[in-house]
Every structure is written in structure tokens, then in C-alpha cells.
Chains A and B, each alone.
Chain A
Amino acid sequence: MNEHLDSQTLERHIAGERTPEAENHLRECAACRAAVSRMEAALAQFALSTRRWSESQALSRPPAGWLASARPRWRMAPARWAAVAATAAVLLAVPLYYNYSQRQAAAQARADAVLLEEVSTDISRPAPEPLEPLIELVSQSNTGENR
């Protein structure tokens, strides 16, 4: 083994693109192995520093309740939707019931008027309807006698 890995191969390896050739070389070459280790250690320290810096910030956790305030107002819980639906049903039912009652009252009034008319006709007759021919006969007979 006469040559070390070139920069490009080392960078590819560190970036995660690993080839069997580079893996084999690294097993045998201490200098290249040390170069990779040094770079990986520096990158691990960098990652750790970003993590610690982020975690040290007050805003590294979401502010309490902010998502609830960001949700659109029309998005309601199912129980609220049920209450709204029930209210709407009641509001719709009241005029329908009122309309139905009015129609029933009007029909009843018409039936009462017909009945009253029939009663009035019956009362205005001098005799019940079945006796009317007899009354007429008596009336004609009386008229003939008077002559």
C-alpha cells in the first residue's frame, strides 16, 4: 500500500458514501484512519455544540398553548358541533311546527263552520226533513177546504 486516500475519497467517506475500496484501505492505513477520526470528532463536537446551544435557549420548547391559538376558530370540538346542530334543529323546527298548528286550526275552523251551517239549516225548518212531505200535503188540503 503506497498511497493514502485522496481528499475527495475521504470527504465522500465522511459524508456517508462508503465504498468497499475505501473501507479496505482504512482498515490497513492508520494515517487515513486517524484523518477520518479527527474529522468525525470535529463534526461530532460541532453537532454537540449546536444541540447545547439550542437547548440553552428559552424557545427550544414550544410556548405553552401557542398551537391552540393558531388553530382556526371554526375548528370546534365534536361536542360543540353537536350543540350547534341541535340549536339549528330547534330553530328550524319552531316555524315548521307553528305552520302546522296554524293549518290544523284553519281546517278545524272550516269543519266547525260547515257543522254550524248544517245545524242552522236544520233549526230553520218548521219540521224535520222526513215529515216535510206530510206537512206540505196537510197544507194543500187546508187550502182546498178554505176555497
Chain B
Amino acid sequence: MADIRPSPLDDFDAVVAAHWAGVFRFALVSLRDADLAATVAQDCFVRAYRGRQRFRGDASVRTWLMQIAVNLVRDAARSRRLQFWKRAQDASRDFEALAATVADGGASPEAATAVREQLRAVWQAVRGLPERQRTVFLLRFTEQMELMEIAAVTGMAEGTVKVHLFRALRAVRQALGHESL
């Protein structure tokens, strides 16, 4: 007998509305290219829509979508490696203006400068991370995912996720000059 239980994917427009921003943000920060990030987001939702019969509800919709997004981001980064750094330079100019808005939130000029420098250091450190470390780091600290969820999204064992995350954190702490007490 056919399974007729309601699925969280029945209203797919609502799924897109709820999860587009997260998928787009992850792709944007990973690829540093807004057009490419939008293409990844669209591909992610089209694939999810076409494959929605395979969604069994073992994981959350967000986990399932981010699984697709992580694979698409990896493919996009590999296929566009030659163009990547030019685009990254353009994007970093875009980012500089935004870093200022984060840093200038009512702080003194000195504090704002310190925050801006700190942000620049984190961004540069994240950019220099190996692909897996960067993916795990972004899922944990920008998408606020738990370690188990990151393991489900990336297909890695939880122990492997931890190793990548600790290494990424160490690189970021070193870039910030926080490594010694």
C-alpha cells in the first residue's frame, strides 16, 4: 500500500522560502561569488524537488538540502578553479564594505578598527583552509549546526568532523594571534 503520510516537502514553495537564505549564504561564503552561489542554490532546490520522493524523513529538511548544497559547492569550486581567485578578489572588495558595518556598530574608532582587523584575519584564515575544514567550519559557525548534523551533511564520521573542525579552529586562532594564553 502506498505511503500517504504528509511530507515536509509537500509545500515545496514553503521549503524554498524557509531554506534559500541558508543554502545561498553557505554557497556564497564558500565560493565568494554571488552569481555562482545563486546557481548553486537553484540547482540545490531543483535537485531536491526532483528527488523529493526519496526523502524519507530520517534527517531534517535542512540537513538534506545542505547535503546537496555541499556537493554542488564542491563541484562548482572544482570546475571553476581558474576563475575562482579573480572572482574572490572582486568579492573581497564587496566584503570590505560590509566588514565595516559589522565593526562600526556603535564602537569607538579604535575598537572598530580592532574588530575590522579581527574579521579580516578570520576571513583570510577561512579562505586558506583546505576544502573539508572550511566546509565543516562554515557549517558549525555560520549555519550553527551540531557536530552530528555536520556529519550527516558531509557524510563524514563524527570523529572526522571533529578533527577537521579542531584543525580549522586552530588555524583561525593562530591567524587571530589567540593561540597562547
Number of A-B contacts (CB under 8 A): 125
> Contact between B24 and A54 (Cβ–Cβ < 8 Å)?
yes
CB neighbours of B34 from chain A (8 A): 57-59
Query: A87 to chain B: closest CB distance in Å?
Result: 27
> Contact between B46 and A52 (Cβ–Cβ < 8 Å)?
no
Main secondary structure of the interface of B (DSSP, over half): helix
Interface residues of B in 1-52 (CB under 8 A from A): 12-13, 16-17, 20-21, 24-25, 28-29, 34-35, 37-38, 41-42, 45-46, 49-50
Main secondary structure of the interface of A (DSSP, over half): helix
Size class of B's contact patch?
35 or more
Kindly list 10 other residue pairs between chains A and B, CB separation below 8 angstroms, not including A53-B95, A55-B21: A11-B169, A31-B181, A38-B176, A39-B178, A45-B119, A50-B138, A50-B142, A57-B34, A59-B38, A67-B13
CB neighbours of B98 from chain A (8 A): 49, 52-53, 56
> Contact between B45 and A67 (Cβ–Cβ < 8 Å)?
yes
State whether the Cβ of A17 lies closer than 8 Å to any Cβ in chain B.
Answer: yes
A69 to B176, CA, bound (A): 46
Interface residues contributed by chain A, number (CB under 8 Å) = 40
